[in-house]
Structure 1
Amino acid sequence: MKKVYQYYPHILAFLGFILIALLYFSPVLQGKKLYQSDIVQYMGMAKAQTDFKAETGEELYWTDHAFLGMPTYQLGAHYPYNYIKKLDQAIRFLPRPADYLFLYFLSFYILLITLRIHPLKAFFGALAFGFSTYLIIIFGAGHNAKAHAIAYMPLVVAGVLLVFRKRYVIGALVTTLAVALEIQANHFQMTYYLLFLLAFFGVYYSIKAIRAKTYNHLFLSWGILLGSAIVALGVNATSLLATAEFSTFSIRHKSELTMQPDGSAKQTTSAMDYDYITEYSYGIAESLNLIFPRLFGGGMSEDVGIDSPVYQYVINQGASTEEAQKFASNVPLYWGDQPIVEAPAYLGAIVFFLAVFCLFADRRKIKYVFLAGIVLTLLLSWGKNLTGLTSFFIHYIPLYDKFRAVSSIQVIVELCMPILAIMGLQTFFKLEANDQKKYLLQTGLLFFGMVGLLWLGKDAFSFTSYRDQFYAQTDQGRVFLSVLIKQRQEVYTADLLRSSLFVGLVIGALFLAHKKYVSTIMATVLVGGLMVADLVLIDKRYVNNDNFVAAYMMEVPFQKSPADEYILQDKSHYRVYHPQGRLQAKTNYFHKSVGGYSAVRPQKADEVFIYQVEPQLNTLIDHINQTAMTLEKSLSVLDMLNVKYLLLQTQDNQDIPLLNTSANGPAWFVESMQMVHSPNEEMKALASLQAKKEAIVNAVKFPELAAKSSFAVDAMATIVLENYQPNYLEYTTQNNQDGFAVFSEVFYNKGWNAYIDNQLVPHYEVNYLLRGLPIPPGKHRVEFKFEPQVIQIGSRITIASFVLLFLFLGGGFYWNKRKKQKKEAQEW
């Protein structure tokens, strides 16, 4: 009975997490869904593959509706034998996003229990982690994969700790499954950042083992962790291999071009350029909003209420009460340097206070591992504001330059700080009375000293940002800016007081416990309740019930416009270009689009528009026939991409369809090849390309094509697209001479194969990004099939890894059993 009783606190915590997750996101109980802008964009991108699977029952690994064509590996593709995904789905049994919030809680709770934290304190610690403002606001943006990966981070750390603490079998099991689930979450940036913290753990426990001369334990621990990592990678092999393969095709890889669109030389790294990587860099002083939420204004759309300078200013301008309230609910208070900020990454004043208390009072050296994780990732989150360190990591730390928005590395701070906080809270109750008072006083003096400095130093801040230059252009704007600055100053002061109040209340609760006026349990509940309330009150400003909508609004996020209806009447094969919305996914939802919404969009498709099309948009507009709504003169690049329709947006945001009558169609024979010798030359040649007559070929890549550069195309030569599926194209060709055909499809040799009369033949990259194929004379059947070997190879590795997993764990349990039996025999 006693053995069963010890699990009661964990069962209660589990049930509590379910209840709290559902209460926080209570609209899910009414069938509503959280409106998530990125998920809406994803649904636009994935619509074609979703429809294909619904119609055929087959998984689609290539979509024709985005960026001229791309693999679906980062668009929710499902792979064979992905049993880890099924496990993940079983764990996340609640409606979204309550499932992720529950996973935050549960995973962090397991980590704290592994750290030998009392269940009640671990319960509140899990809530503090889960309600960390950054972890909540990413739901509103639709960063589900990021939330998913963050949620498994504590579980990975727990597994590693178990192994290093000689709990080998359970440690191996937890580590293997946790790492497998972490990878399966499919946000490799978050997983990569976690490795920095795990590296600190590795160094710490290695030094500890070397000093203690427990080499067998050290080698065994590293062996188990290595084995766990290999198995976890193996069971995710298909996803990892497919992503690695596609990454060389995406904007996350180094460009072949060494020039800017204007022809000037550009500086390149092994992947993305420095400015793109560091575009979202946390301000150094701005980091204080981890403790004081709106010190830098909060977000870019804050509700300041009716008792505010902004509201009064609008009223004084003659606006109605309703108009003033509407204006005051959407005020750009944020004055930091990041381009877009929806909310501060607030982790809690109380969490910070208790974490500092831990650093003063806790004698366990493992606290320095978490401190190291906090310091390093905080420094890295400053990005371009700490150029030396950032440049070093970009140029010398493997894979660091594959990820942008360096400010998001701060998730490690969000992970480590609540751990230290709960360690600090538990330490408080273990201290002698004099030490409780001593460290409480030290921490209080430090915190309120910081508040005092910020209060007195308020005038050192300008309360303006580069975005405010817009207001300075007119007299009226300058008046409004002065009001906005006053509003920002009021919020600054208010949140200093707010954090001070919460910390003051916690000090009071701990002082009552110190004096024995309240029990340890009561004090824990008081402190934990205040800690959670502090966070939830901020969270609800940014993600609340108002963000939920009826389910159908997320299930069918886009409605056809008259322009869409008009274009969809055309049943031929073509593409659509929306100049004002190329990087949005609404067009993808209905049409085969040249653009889309993706952080890993195909690089060459992106570059063709940046270098060739967008600089000449004004030229296109000059050639519109307003009466017939046709394009009298197109760009050769658009023609070769088979862009038959353009969607032009009017001033009232209505789309107008524009017919490009000169689009080349699905395929055509060319008369000649223009040989170039570098990617730069290829790109430059596109500007003067006669796409219907010639093809550009990089002779360095494909020297075999240089032997014949001209072809006879007779008047009767034809290429007809007979059968079209996203992953299969069939053409019939007729030509009396040896010919060379260009296809308006993206060249991707990591899966697309060409066949002539059922015989596999090589095809080539032409015109920088399209497919070209030599075709012999006569009538032929030409096919392109998407046959990615990476799926087959990955599937085999996945199966083998699951076998290895069972052998690995079976061997571990057998070894543990034998060890136990040997110990019992020795006792006899």
Structure 2
Amino acid sequence: MAKQISKQKPVLKNPSSLSGSRIADSNSTFFKYENFIYIGIILLSVLIFFKEGVFSGKVFATGDILASDSFRTFLDDAKKSGVFPLWVPYIFMGMPNFPIISYNPRSYDFFYFIWDSVYGAITNSSTNGVLPVILYYAIFGIGFYLYSNYKFKNKLIALYCALTATFATDFIQRIVVGHNTKVLALAFFPLILLFLDKLIDSFDDKSKSVFSFQNLINLALLALMLHIQLNSNHIQMIFYAYLMLGIYLLYLIIYRVVKKTQISGIIKSGIFFVIAALLAVAMNADVMMTMKEYNKYSMRGEPGIEAKIDKKVADDQPLDYQYATNWSFSPGEVITFLLPYYYGFGDVEIQGQKANLYWGQMPFTTNPMYFGVIVLILAVTGIFYNFRKNPFVQAMTVISVVFLFMSFGRNFSLIYDLFFNYFPYFSSFRAPVMIHHFMNIAIVILSGFGLKSVIEIVKGKTDSDKLKKLCYVFFGIAGLMFLISIVGFEGSYTDSVSTSSLAEKLKQQGATAQQISQYIKQQIIPNAYANSISDLRLHAFFIAIVAGLMFMYATNKVSVKIFLAGTILIAVIDLWNVNFKTLHWDNPGETKNAFAETDFTNWLLKTNPDTYTYRVAEFNGGRLTTDNTMAYYRLHSFNGYHGAKIRIYQDAVDVAEGENPLLLTLGGVKYIISDKPLQDTSFVQVFKGTKFIYENKNFIPKAFFADGYKVEKDITILNNIREMNFDPRKVAFLEKDINQKIDKPDSTASVKLVKGDIHSLEYDVNATGNNLLVFSEIYLPFGWKAYIDGKESEIHKTDYILRSLVVPQGKHKVEFRYEPAVYYTGKSVSIGANVLLGIILLAGVFGYATNKKKSDSTGNVKKDENI
């Protein structure tokens, strides 16, 4: 009996019940009630913060969200037809699906399919469009809590880290502007860190087997988290995630080599991480391989033709350096870590009207890169107390600094240029400031170490004087900030705004010097400066409160729980105070109105219901728009919106200009939809309503015969289009000789589209000789195959952007089918990788359960098997 009672003592002992300043030990299992309470707080905080969307049905009706919603009818049509859409015909004369839409029913990828099905059933995006994204914030917060709890062995510090990481201003802003794939790319990252650290700790324990059941489970879960992250299809965010993990592992290896400590464990962890990453990529092989193939022919994989001719860029640098670095953070803007309003903030409301007061050097931004002043001072504290002795803190500090300098882009290009010039694929990325998401994660973790250090000092009763001095420093910082807010700095601030790049940007937008001067003096300076002064006072107050709590805790005036709870409360209030100003909610009618029936779309669909036989182009202010809205009405557009268009399309628009009547004719454009009357005599007005519709007088059907062809260089062809000095029906321009005699078609030659759908086009053709048949469909070297009477025929690149076939005399059935071999190969790899992951996971779970059952029956519980 005594022996049994002895065994039960560790189970009955509950660290969370200890009184005084002693903190609850988080070594207890996950299923203790405290974890449920704190996870509930995280979930409740997210729901309350986004209450307008969760409970009132409000939405964010920004351009990126509308661009994505434009494809709802396309996806619904594909689903009803039982078709998995690989091609989108509605924008840019067509482009592959995967770079556009990431939420597709890939049922053969059954791990993600199960996750997506369950998640979709819970969130029901058809009734609430923002709820699925909001819950990804909750997943991120819960994951961060689990990771921080594992790292700090302290539930309240874990709660602090989870809430401050979740409510970092730039992360919150992603849902507002519709960058939902970035939210998904980040949502599972804390869990990736968790399972990676579990592997590192397990391999450092020499008593455990490399292929223990626990390690197999952690490997499988790590691979699964990486795989779900990959399904965001946001390659730049994924690259940054892997870069952070790579720097972390590499630093630990270097540290252990220098310190001559055990290195085998971290090497094994690195190998397991590579295995998990390869599994994740393999499970997503259909998407990754297709995107990789497409990348060769997109803006992100090939430089523009003018840049190549002018030798402005290398062949392996697809994006122009200036374009790639437009959204570069700047050293001066680091001040927004402390004063988010200093550079104007971004989108704000002034007297009920939305305005953008940003005056920094980026083209524009909607929000500051703010992660909390409390997080900032605690991160500095964590570095100060832990940098010398803790390699993890060293690694996170290095990551924070490296990522900050990378975010500077062209404004401090030392580190960024190394990646841009020498790292594979990096030159395909734009907006260096995007890396702040991962820098913020590292800084939040460092701030957790700051709290941990304060607690350890008080518990250990060492360096208490040093801690008090730290409190005095914080009081001094708060006092200095308040003093500056009293004295003011309006003169220097006015000079900074007046001499910034804002005036030049406004001038390029057509503003006069007087308008620019009035805008800066009457809008920017008074509002941004006043808010900066308010920030100084409020943040000084927040710092003083936290410093006071810290001092009271150091002098045993308050318990550790009150200190931590108070710090959490102030940190969240600080972030919410800033973040609420970024939530520009719209009524659900805003998105519905964007896709409501219109008089001009009704006219088009009634007049020309077969939308596969023509295209439209939208003009706004006489310029081609970047808009996907017409796809919702199943109208095929020459224009559209996407950051990775097919390269030759972008070349044509850049060189010949998108409004060029001949380019529009080559693109199969029959109608122009314009917000105002057009003066170009190439078009005739046929409808006037809420918008004008003009018919292209030179419209050529999307399949037509050319009398013959000429061989010219690519830039010469584009210049001919720009100069509008040829008739496409008379001559087709090819870039290489097809070495075939082409007969001029007579009046009996004909071509008719008999079937058009997502993946195929079918024509009845009557050729009167060896005729060249040109199609107003975008040329893409992979995926599309042509068949004449069932026999494959070569597709020729024509007029720089189009396709053509040589059709022999007689009546024929001509087909185009989109059958990308790389996709079907990737699909097979994906199925195989899913099966392999399933085997690893089942082996780990079954083995662990069997071992645990045996251990329970013998009374020998292995604590290291606790997952």
Fold shared, TM-score > 0.5 on shorter chain? yes
Q: Is the 8 A contact 1:73 1:243 kept in 2?
A: yes
Query: Deviation at 1:114?
Result: 2.5
| Map of 1:389 onto structure 2 | 415
Which has the higher mean CA deviation after the structures are superposed, 88-97 or 403-412?
Answer: 88-97
On the 8 A contact 1:357/1:440 being kept in 2, the answer is no
Matches within 5 A, 1:347-746: 347-362=371-386, 363-431=389-457, 432=462, 433-442=464-473, 459-461=491-493, 462-464=496-498, 465-468=500-503, 470=506, 473=512, 478=517, 481-484=520-523, 485-543=525-583, 547-550=585-588, 553-554=590-591, 557-569=594-606, 570-572=608-610, 573-580=613-620, 581-590=624-633, 591-614=635-658, 616=660, 635-650=661-676, 654-676=690-712, 678-686=713-721, 687=723, 688-699=725-736, 703=737, 705=738, 707-708=739-740, 710-746=742-778
Distance verdict in 2 for CA 1:754–1:709, change over 3 Å: same
Deviation at 1:479, TM superposition (A): 5.0
Change (3 A) 1:741 1:496: same
CA distance in 2, matches of 1:12, 1:5: 11
Partner of 1:187: 234
Q: Does 2:813 correspond to 1:781?
A: yes
Give the whole-Å Cα distance in 2 for the aligned partners of 1:772 and 1:257.
22
**Aligned mates of 1:383, 1:27 — CA distance in 2:** 36
Identify the range of structure 1 (227-236 vs 556-565) with the bigger mean alpha-carbon deviation. 556-565
Q: How has the CA–CA distance of structure 1 residues 303 and 582 changed in structure 2, closer, same or farther, with 3 Å as cutoff?
A: closer
> Aligned pair in 2 of structure 1 residues 680, 80: CA closer, same or farther (>3 Å)?
farther
Deviates more, 1:245-254 or 1:124-133: 245-254
Partner of 2:412, secondary structure, is helix
Q: How many residues align?
A: 775
In structure 1, the residue matched to 2:60 is 35
Aligned with residue 303 of structure 1, among 346, 349, 370: 349
1:165 corresponds to which letter in structure 2? D
Counterpart contact for 2:787–2:815, Cα < 8 Å: yes
Cα distance in 1 between the residues matched to 2:741 and 2:808: 15
Q: Distance in 2 between matches of 1:607 and 1:756?
A: 30
Q: 1:283 to 1:726 in 2, by over 3 A?
A: same
Aligned mates of 2:356, 2:819 — CA distance in 1: 50
Distance between the aligned counterparts of 1:238 and 1:541, measured in 2?
41
CA shift, 1:824, in A, is 10
Cα deviation for residue 729 of structure 1 reads 1.0
Equivalent residue of 1:711, what SS? coil
1:764, distance to aligned residue in structure 2 (A): 1.7
1:361-412 deviations in Å (ceiling 9; x for gaps): 2342311111111111111111121134332221112221111111111112
Q: Tell me which moved more, 722-731 or 152-161.
A: 152-161
Report the Cα offset of residue 115 of structure 1: 1.0
Structure-2 change in CA distance of 1:91 and 1:155 (3 Å): farther
Greater displacement, 776-785 / 9-18: 9-18
Aligned to 1:754: 786
2:782–2:820 contact (8 Å) kept in structure 1:
yes
Higher deviation after alignment, 34-43 or 282-291: 34-43
Q: Does 1:71 align with 2:96?
A: yes
Specify the code of the residue in structure 2 equivalent to 1:588.
A
Alpha-carbon shift at residue 106 of structure 1 (Å): 1.1
- Paired with 2:234 and 2:650, the residues of 1 have a C-alpha distance of 22
Q: Please name the residue that 2:128 is paired with.
A: none
- Deviations for 1:441-480, whole angstroms, at most 9, x for unmatched residues? 4555567668878977765442233334559945576455
Q: Deviations over 1:27-51 (max 9, x none)?
A: 3444614224145433454145224
| Closer/same/farther in 2, CA of residues 202 and 102 from structure 1, 3 Å limit | same
When residues 187 and 36 of structure 1 are mapped into structure 2, their CA distance, relative to the original with a 3 A threshold, is: farther
Letter aligned with residue 568 of structure 1? L
Residue 571 of structure 1 aligns to which amino acid in structure 2?
P
The Cα offsets for residues 202-244 of structure 1, whole Å up to 9 and x where unpaired, read as: 1222134434453542442222112111111111111211221
Within a 5 Å distance, the mapping from 1:222-237 to structure 2 comes to: 222-237=270-285
Contact 1:44 1:588 in 2 (8 A): no
2:760 and 2:105 mapped to 1: Cα distance?
Answer: 19
Tell me which of 242, 252, 261 is aligned to 2:300.
Answer: 252
Moved more, 581-590 or 479-488: 479-488
1:8 maps onto 2:44 in alignment: no
| Amino acid corresponding to residue 826 of structure 2 in structure 1 | G
Matched-pair contact (CA < 8 Å) for 1:582–1:594: no
Deviates more, 1:4-13 or 1:579-588: 4-13
Q: Is the Cα contact below 8 Å between 2:42 and 2:141 reproduced in 1?
A: yes
Give 5+ residue unaligned stretches, structure 1: 305-324, 617-634
Q: What is the percentage of aligned positions where both structures have the same residue?
A: 21
With normalisation by structure 2, the TM-score equals 0.83
Task: Return the alpha-carbon distance in structure 2 between the equivalents of residues 217 and 491 of structure 1.
Answer: 51
TM-score normalised by the chain length of structure 1: 0.87
**Greater Cα offset, 501-510 or 179-188:** 179-188
Q: Deviations over 1:183-219 (max 9, x none)?
A: 1122111111122221221122213443445354244
The change in CA–CA distance for 1:23 and 1:344 in structure 2 (over 3 A counts) is same
Query: Following TM superposition, by how much is the alpha carbon of 1:777 offset from its aligned partner in structure 2, in angstroms?
Result: 0.8
Describe the shift of the 1:767–1:557 C-alpha distance in structure 2 as closer, same or farther (beyond 3 A). Answer: same
Q: Is the 8 Å Cα contact of residues 45 and 596 (structure 1) preserved in structure 2? A: no
- From 108, 128, 134, give the equivalent of 2:170: 134
Contact preservation (8 Å) 2:299, 2:645: yes
* Deviates further, 810-819 or 563-572: 810-819
Query: Judging changes above 3 Å, is the alpha-carbon distance between structure 1 residues 225 and 5 closer, same or farther for their aligned structure 2 residues?
Result: closer
Quick check: 1:214 aligned with 2:262? yes
Could you tell me which amino acid in structure 2 is paired with residue 303 of structure 1? Answer: E
Residue in structure 2 matching 1:110, options 146, 157, 181: 146
* Maintained 8 Å contact 2:717/2:799: yes
Give 1:819 shift.
Answer: 9.7
How far apart, in 1, do the equivalents of 2:78 and 2:849 lie? 47
Q: 1:278 corresponds to which residue?
A: 325
SS of 2:805's equivalent in the other structure is strand
Q: CA deviation at 1:559?
A: 2.5
Q: Deviations over 1:473-497 (max 9, x none)?
A: 4557645533442433322222122
Matched with 1:319 is none
Measure the CA separation in 2 of the matches of 1:231 and 1:557. Answer: 41
Q: Who is 1:632 aligned against?
A: none
Rounded to whole Å, the distance in 1 between the matches of 2:579 and 2:380 is 23
Distance 1:443 1:330 in 2: 36
1:345 correspondence with 2:369: yes
Unaligned runs of 5+ in 2: 1-10, 13-27, 124-130, 204-214, 678-687, 863-867
Counterpart secondary structure, 1:501: helix
Quote the offset at 1:100 in angstroms.
2.0
Q: Give SS of 1:293's match.
A: coil
1:150 aligned residue (165, 177, 186): 186
> How large is the RMSD of aligned CA atoms in angstroms?
3.0
Aligned to 2:210: none
CA offset at residue 121 of structure 1? 1.8
Q: Tell me, what secondary structure is at the counterpart of 1:579?
A: strand
Distance 1:660 1:5, change over 3 A: closer
Rounded Cα–Cα distance in structure 1 between residues aligned with 2:650 and 2:514: 41
Task: For 1:192 and 1:480, locate their aligned partners in 2 and report how far apart those are by CA, in whole Å.
Answer: 40
Give the CA deviation at 1:289: 0.7
Name the counterpart of 2:832.
800
Alignment correspondent of 1:119: 155
